[in-house]
A = this chain, B = another copy of it.
């Protein structure tokens, strides 16, 4: 399927994808670490911005992860003053999650880091090639039903994911 000095497996598109994708994830985790966020944190903060007032169950469903694992993550972000659990008048079992101003500011910083990170990853590609790559990756993402912004790593998130 592929040519070259090495065997077919290690040079296949699928292997390259896994390899380069893991590298991109690792790099993002590295550049994000100074802000004291994991990629998973970043994804949650971003999602809270676009879905304000969401409950933990809804959030867990969107991320395809178990709600019980979300508790500690939300606890940590709340204790840092980045989001707030707010009592819900109509259903007192649920808590609406809302970003605080500090949380929005954190998201802004995360966005800066992410853009720099994207620029670094794409450094060896010109604009046309970046569009090509995005198009081809988007095709595969669509084929597997991946949702924009939802990293598969949430299903079994540790220090990865996001």
Contact = CB atoms under 8 A, between A and B. Distances in A.
A153 interface: yes
Contacts of A143: 123-124
Contacts of A122: 13-14, 140
Interface stretch (A4-12, A54-62, A67-75, A77-85): A4-12
A25 B19 CA distance: 9
Query: Which bracket fits the contact residues of A?
Result: 35 or more
Interface in A20-46: 20-28, 39, 42, 46
28 contacts: A1-B119, A7-B50, A8-B111, A8-B115, A12-B115, A12-B118, A13-B118, A13-B122, A13-B134, A13-B137, A14-B114, A15-B151, A17-B21, A17-B137, A19-B21, A19-B146, A19-B151, A20-B137, A21-B21, A22-B22, A22-B151, A22-B152, A23-B140, A23-B152, A121-B140, A124-B142, A129-B139, A133-B136
Closest 6 CB pairs of A and B: A21-B21, A10-B149, A12-B118, A14-B118, A14-B121, A18-B25
